[in-house]
Amino acid sequence: MRTAEIRRRFLDYFAERGHTVVPSAPLPTPDPTLLFVNAGMVPFKPYLAGEDVAPWPRAASVQKCVRTLDIEEVGRTTRHGSFFQMNGNFSFGDYFKEEAIAYAWELSTAPVDAGGYGLDPERIWVTVHHSDDESADIWRRVADLPSERIVTRGDEDNFWSMGVPGPCGPCSELYYDRGPALGRAGGPEVDEDRYMEFWNLVFMQYERGPGPGKSGYPILGELPRRNIDTGMGLERMATLLQGVDNLYEIDETRPILDRAAELTGVRYGAEHDSDVRLRVIADHVRTGLMMLADGTSPGNEGRGYVLRRILRRAVRAVRLLGHQDPALPELLPVARDCMAPSYPELTADFDRIAQQAYGEEDAFRKTLRQGTTVLDTAVAKARDEGRHTLPGAQAFLLHDTYGFPIDLTLEMAAEQGVDVDREGFTALMNEQRERARADARSRKAGAADTAALRSVLDANGPTDWQAWERLETESVVLAILAPAGRLPAASTGEIVTVVLDRTPFYAESGGQDSDAGVLTGTASEAEVLDVQRPLPGLVVHQVRVTAGELAVGDTVRAAVDPEWRLGARQAHSGTHVLHAALRQILGPTALQAGSYNRPGYLRLDFPWRGALGPTTRSEVEEAANRALRADLPVGVRWMTLPEAKEIGALALFGETYGEKVRVVEIGGPWSRELCGGTHVEHASQVGVVAVTGESSVGAGMRRVEAAVGVEGFGYLARERDLVARIAEQLQAPKDQLPERIATLLDRLKAADRQSAELRRKEAAGRAAELAAAAVDVDGTLAATGTLSGDGGTARELALAVRDRLDARTPGVVAIGAEADGKTALVVAVNRAAKDAGLSAATLVKGLLSGRGGGNADIAQGGGIPAADLSPTLAGLPALLRK
């Protein structure tokens, strides 16, 4: 039974029994204690904990989950998977133990043709908490289970809580006996490989008090409303129903594993280390696909780092198995096809997913080429000096200069038997972060001390801020501050923080960048670099003195660059227009969650599942520009916050508002937002809104970017010119370009296929020639050759030559390839050579001075100049003699 069918049956079964089917929540979770949903109950936690009232008395879901605490164990054991799906049925004060047990038993054992899973009742065991006689009695009555197949266990195994004071209760787990071939008899306490857990029923009936661990905390009493939280592992059930050994071999993962084996020339089941890597690939490619689909993007922090680590572990496992070419373009579509029956949105959004994944692999391949050499050199040096620990400074260099994540450094060093000074690395990372924070503070307020700014505010009162009314003011310099403290004056070239008694400059806020302009005195001039509000009521200017000397007490003309301000007004009003257009096309849930605008450019983030298609993007852009063509009036009104909410003005989540709020309207109710920014007077003054991009920024959040004003017209003109040039080159009308380009691409693909076929035929022809020319090196046949092509072509030829050598005699083949300035060297050995102690991985590293990798059968490396290929291959006999 396919996994998608197991999923469907579960939801149908519980829907027929009055459960509301709740869609899976996205993997990124708003829970501040988690990066990703890691259990089926996480989206229901507020209802189970009594923090909120559930909208339904009973529910069912198939929840996507990610757990990465045991990521190093993925593939090493057959129990760990980083992505999994949890089928769950929940009761919020409705039914309890008897119904939950009856549901689990009926669905598990009902015949397949009756909608069940058809598990043999005689092979099911259950566990209950040692204090839960009630559940044991229900199992005997409902399922007619004999007492010997009802096992009692303690708190560690069969009592559940969230780990903090709150709801808790005993649980009952279902196990299935997979037969004597997988372990010892005697039930789950004896062998949990043979007896596989597939369903867990949690009976939340008590409230626990404070205390660490899984036991020893006080039970404060009964809950006012008892809940049911059950979880059936979808991959576990698929393992049972598909008759396979583990979760890596079910229909949603095995095709990925098989494709990886095909790419690398490794047979699954032949060798432990290779099997581990194949399982890592299958698990991580699927996990990466699902994380990307739910809006997580590779990055260096939080969720993004987890995704980056998972994708890079998969890519590196493929390379360690000998495949040096890009792997994700071969593997990710297989994962998509495996998961699409349950998640059809993967197909619709695959282009975006693939673009991010393939880009990450490309970046990592560059990182590996540079960083691996540095790491290998550092490890070799440590060994030469008799040390078994890589210094923290070396690990930091790999991270900071070459982009090597510390986890990858730890992994690769451990493979070579070397530890890493993790504490030293962490100390250097903390120093770097502190420098970055100090630099950010310096750029935003000239590194002025907050206490000094407070004294200026206390002595002079709030800044007279006139950015809404004018572009110029006559102002007095109240204070000049630098990192060392207050200064009486600043000379040419110095960058300082200046406080004026009044200013026309807009201070960065509400997504709008600060104004640019100049301060001009009788004997000085200064360029305004940044304007901030470090304290409520105080506006400060970071300036560079460009002429003369600026002194405290000087009277200066503070002038905003009018072109800058016009561009800023266009961008900020354009942001409001685009926000209203998004809500008009997508609906009211497309609520702005963040924005940034500067002259000519804007971006806007909003919660949304999935990418906006080309049609939707066009509709949003058209709605925005219709508002501009209609020349909707732009108005500003002041009112209380309740009044603003009464008329439907939108307030941004997380913003703080005073007693009176400023409401900016464009076209009256069409766009009505609380805003402190600068705006145009009529919508047509924005000029144009040209959407330039739409992307994911993680956690179910999308980002739209656009050019406005002159920059918007320039963007459209460049697009027009580009289309015109392509049309001219292809000699086709503009409206026929998509079809013409598609035809050209088809021809190129056909040409590539023909070229590949010719290369294969050429390789087959050369194989016999190279095998015949093999030389005898102390009883080992050695064949070498070069060709024009990539690593894959060299691999095919090496295997073809190896197959033509006398299988009874140890044989080694080394093939060098060069194409487009890139080189590859592949070494293959036959079984007789392996039995004689030869390893392809060792040989390729010997030829390439430690570079390259693979396994005993076949290995690959590269990165040497094309001119060095033949001399390197000529060194094979000498290497064999060693």
SS (H, E, C) 690-748: EEEEEEEEECCEEEEEEEEHHHHHHHHHHHHHHHHHHHHHHCCCHHHHHHHHHHHHHHH
Under the phi-then-psi rule, with left for phi > 0, alpha for psi from -120 to 50, and beta for the rest, what region is 166? left
pLDDT band for position 435 (50/70/90)?
A: low
pLDDT in tens, 27-79: 888 666 688 988 898 888 888 877 678 889 999 999 999 987 767 778 777 76
DSSP code of residue 867? G
pLDDT band for position 440 (50/70/90)?
A: very low
Please state, in angstroms and rounded to a whole number, the distance separating the CA atoms of residues 691 and 238.
45
pLDDT mean over 263-277: 90
pLDDT mean over 849-860: 85
Question: Residue 859: what residue type?
Answer: A
Contact assessment for residue 582 and residue 604, using Cβ atoms and an 8 Å cutoff: yes
CA-angle at 187, arms to 104 and 96, nearest 5°: 25
Which of 542, 623, 631, 636 lies closest to 587, judged by CA?
Answer: 623
- What are the tokens at 779? 């009883």
> Which overall architecture, per CATH, does domain 755-881 show?
Roll (3.10)
Handedness of CA 319, 323, 326, 327 (dihedral sign): negative
Which pLDDT score, from 0 to 100, does residue 436 have?
53
pLDDT band for position 796 (50/70/90)?
A: confident
pLDDT mean over 831-856: 88
572 marked as part of a ligand binding site:
yes
HSE at residue 100, side-chain half, CA atoms within 13 A, is 32
- Residue in the block written with tokens 């149908």: 12
Handedness of CA 389, 390, 391, 392 (dihedral sign): negative
Contact assessment for residue 398 and residue 374, using Cβ atoms and an 8 Å cutoff: yes
- Whole-number percent of the chain with pLDDT over 90: 53
HSE at residue 771, side-chain half, CA atoms within 13 A, is 23
Q: Which residue has the higher pLDDT, 267 or 764?
A: 267
Which pLDDT score, from 0 to 100, does residue 822 have?
84
Which of 514, 551, 543, 503 lies closest to 526, judged by CA?
Answer: 543
pLDDT band for position 688 (50/70/90)?
A: very high
Which of 237, 337, 342, 258 lies closest to 1, judged by CA?
Answer: 237
Which pLDDT score, from 0 to 100, does residue 416 have?
74
679 marked as part of a ligand binding site:
yes
Phi and psi at 270, nearest 5°, equal -90, -30
Sorted by where each begins, the domain ranges of the chain are: 3-242, 254-428, 446-560, 588-721, 755-881
Which pLDDT score, from 0 to 100, does residue 443 have?
46
> Domain 588-721: what homologous superfamily?
Threonyl-trna Synthetase; Chain A, domain 2 (3.30.980.10)
Please state, in angstroms and rounded to a whole number, the distance separating the CA atoms of residues 566 and 591.
26
Reported as type and span, the H/E element at residue 317 is helix 302-320
pLDDT mean over 116-127: 96
pLDDT mean over 205-211: 85
pLDDT mean over 469-492: 92
Which runs of E-coded beta strand occur in 641-688?
A: 660-666, 671-674
CB within 8 A of 730, min separation 6: which ones? 737, 740, 741, 744
Which of 879, 865, 881 lies closest to 827, judged by CA?
Answer: 879
HSE at residue 712, side-chain half, CA atoms within 13 A, is 24
Which pLDDT score, from 0 to 100, does residue 449 have?
66
Contact assessment for residue 149 and residue 190, using Cβ atoms and an 8 Å cutoff: no
> Which overall architecture, per CATH, does domain 446-560 show?
Beta Barrel (2.40)
399 marked as part of a ligand binding site:
no
HSE at residue 10, side-chain half, CA atoms within 13 A, is 30
| Whether residue 655 has pLDDT greater than 60 | no
Question: Residue 373: what residue type?
Answer: T
Question: Residue 852: what residue type?
Answer: G
| Whether residue 446 has pLDDT greater than 50 | no
| Whether residue 486 has pLDDT greater than 50 | yes
What number of other Cβ atoms are within 10 A of residue 629's Cβ? 10
The neighbouring-strand residues paired with 706 are: 602, 691
Which of 757, 844, 814 lies closest to 319, judged by CA?
Answer: 844
| 3-state secondary structure at position 872 | helix
Contact assessment for residue 311 and residue 328, using Cβ atoms and an 8 Å cutoff: yes
- The distance from CA 225 to its chain's CA centroid, rounded to whole angstroms, is 38
| Whether residue 322 has pLDDT greater than 80 | yes
Please state, in angstroms and rounded to a whole number, the distance separating the CA atoms of residues 410 and 424.
13
Among 149-153, 366-370, 628-632, 635-639, name the one with the lowest average pLDDT.
366-370
Handedness of CA 676, 681, 683, 688 (dihedral sign): negative
Burial annotation 118-138 (CB, 10 A radius, 16+ → b, else e): ebeeeebbbbbbbebeebbeb
> Domain 3-242: what homologous superfamily?
Bira Bifunctional Protein; Domain 2 (3.30.930.10)
Question: Looking at the chain, how many residues does it have?
Answer: 882
